[in-house]
Amino acid sequence: QVQLQESGPGLVKPSETLSLTCAVSGYSISSYYYWGWIRQPPGKGLEWIGTIYHGDSTYYSPSLKSRVTFSVDTSKNQFSLKLTSVTAADTAVYYCARVGQQYQLRFFDYWGQGTLVTVSS
């Protein structure tokens, strides 16, 4: 059974960098699937942040592309998100997820529980 778990600070100051990690168990992230980050601001819908594959292919949301960076650590079977210059608008529950069907643009079949990140001074 594939399991994902997000971790990182729950509080980030405005203008600083938000950093989150997604630990994957039950499947090797070096194998054939893509992995993604999605966020959900309080009371709003889901927003795709981006998708990564083995660290050599990344796809970012056009609205976040200038501030977001993904990375993969295959030795720890985890992948990470960095979002720079955060504002209150970046306050959200952040989810990591697996992209289904071994293709970069598909649905998300396994999700982490999500972690709330609040941007506030």
Partner 1 sequence: EIVMTQSPATLSVSPGERATLSCRASQSVSSNLAWYQQKPGQAPRLLIYGASTRATGIPARFSGSGSGTEFTLTISSLQSEDFAVYCCQQYNNWPPAFGQGTKVEIK
Q: Which window, 9-17, 23-31, 45-53, 69-77, contacts partner 1 (CB under 8 A)?
A: 45-53
Within the chain, what is the greatest distance between any pair of CA atoms? 41
- Is residue 42 part of the contact set for partner 1 (CB under 8 A)? no
Q: Taking CB under 8 A as the rule, does residue 27 contact partner 1?
A: no
Residue 46 binds to partner 1 (criterion: CB under 8 A): yes
Q: Shortest Cβ distance from residue 50 to partner 1 (Å)? A: 9
Residue 49 and residue 64: Cα distance in Å, rounded? 7
What's the chain's Rg over C-alpha atoms?
Answer: 13
Q: At its nearest, how many Å lie between partner 1 and the CB of residue 49?
A: 9
The CB-of-13 to partner 1 minimum distance in angstroms stands at: 26
Nearest-angstrom CA–CA distance, 7 and 61:
21
- Report 96-115 residues binding partner 1 (CB under 8 A): 100, 105-109, 111-114
Integer Cα distance of 101 and 105 in angstroms: 9
How far, in Å, CA of 47 to CA of 70, rounded? 16
Closest CA to 110 of 49, 23, 30: 23
> Smallest distance, Å, CB 60 to partner 1?
9
Which residues lie near partner 1 (CB under 8 A)? 38, 44-48, 59, 61-62, 95, 100, 105-109, 111-114
